Amino acid sequence: MSDSSSQANSSAVPGQNLLRGALAGVLSAFFYATAVVFVHHAYRAGMSPLTTAFLRFATAFGSLFLFLKLSRRWVRLPGKQVRILFLSGLLLYAAMGITWFLALSMTPAWLVSLLVALFPIPVLLGSWLLLGAKIDRQQVITLVIVLLGNVALFWRPFSGSVLAGVALMALSVTLYAVYIITGERWAQGCDPLMRTVWTTLGAMVSTGLCAVATQQLSLDFAPSGWLWAMLLGIVCTVLGIAFLWQSVADIGPGRTALLATLEPLFSVLLAIALLGERMSGLQWLGGLVILAGILSMQMKQ
């Protein structure tokens, strides 16, 4: 994202890196998408949103730290990079995770998943405002298409709690975009796994403090909750973040955002297939319009 000209020209990315980055982006999208299933079962086991978020990041940090140390892949980073990565996890990734968990506790998983599809929009606006990227006519048209998709999606009013979840998801998506933009700008060249371990440490500290401060940290849940916490930490966090940054390193944040559009599609399909959720015909139409609009915008990058 710091080099918009290289993103705009697909020939600037070597074929090997393009293939590796594309595969990493698809895998990242799928690993992130499985979170809607794991969180659903974690809540059924009696875990609160903040407890789930804390255990997710604690498991992610602990497992990745042990892996890097035991495999001797630990790399010493410059102090400035460590501070930036830790703070991005402490302030941005944790806040994104908390708002996402809270939204999922009051909003259908399919709706949360479709709202994730809006992620490239704040990335586009943030790149324009902070990195000097240009917005062309195609991108403006895409914004209009996405707005029309949202009209169809929300044509039938939802309850107040669901609308609160939608507001939380809008905030979560914005925080995620800021996280990607700042990470690409100030932590370039950092190993994806080292980037992940410091980010998850910051997120673990932040969510733990929030859970304690609000008296929502509790281990009084069914034993199966530990399994879902481990899956959230390893599959949806370590693998999701690591493959995300590998994709960004290989093909840039613009193309990675294109592949990230697959995440809501994966999530919706998982929510319908495994959680038994349902969407109306008009909501299906709205979701497809949103996905098509985002995809058309990214294809032009």
The mean pLDDT of 280-296, rounded to a whole number, is 75
Name the 3-class secondary structure at 34.
coil
| SS3 of residue 113 by DSSP | helix
pLDDT of 276 over the 80 cut: yes
| Per-residue pLDDT at 223 exceeds 90 | yes
**pLDDT computed for residue 144 by the predictor:** 72
Q: What is the pTM of this model?
A: 0.73
Question: Regarding predicted confidence, which is higher, 69 or 196?
Answer: 69
Q: What is the pLDDT of residues 156-203, one digit of tens each?
A: 666 666 888 888 988 988 887 788 777 666 666 677 788 889 999 999
Alpha-carbon gap, residue 100 to 90, rounded angstroms:
15
Higher pLDDT, 123 or 280: 280
Residue range 209-219: mean pLDDT, rounded: 92
Check whether 64 has a pLDDT greater than 50.
yes
Q: How is residue 75 annotated by DSSP?
A: -
**pLDDT value for 8:** 40
Q: Which range among 74-88, 101-115, 210-224 shows the weakest confidence by mean pLDDT?
A: 101-115
Per-residue pLDDT at 38: 94
Q: What is the DSSP letter of 168?
A: H
The enclosing H or E element of 10 equals: none
Read off the pLDDT of each residue in 74-101 and give the average, rounded to a whole number: 89
Question: What pLDDT is stored for residue 221 in this prediction?
Answer: 95
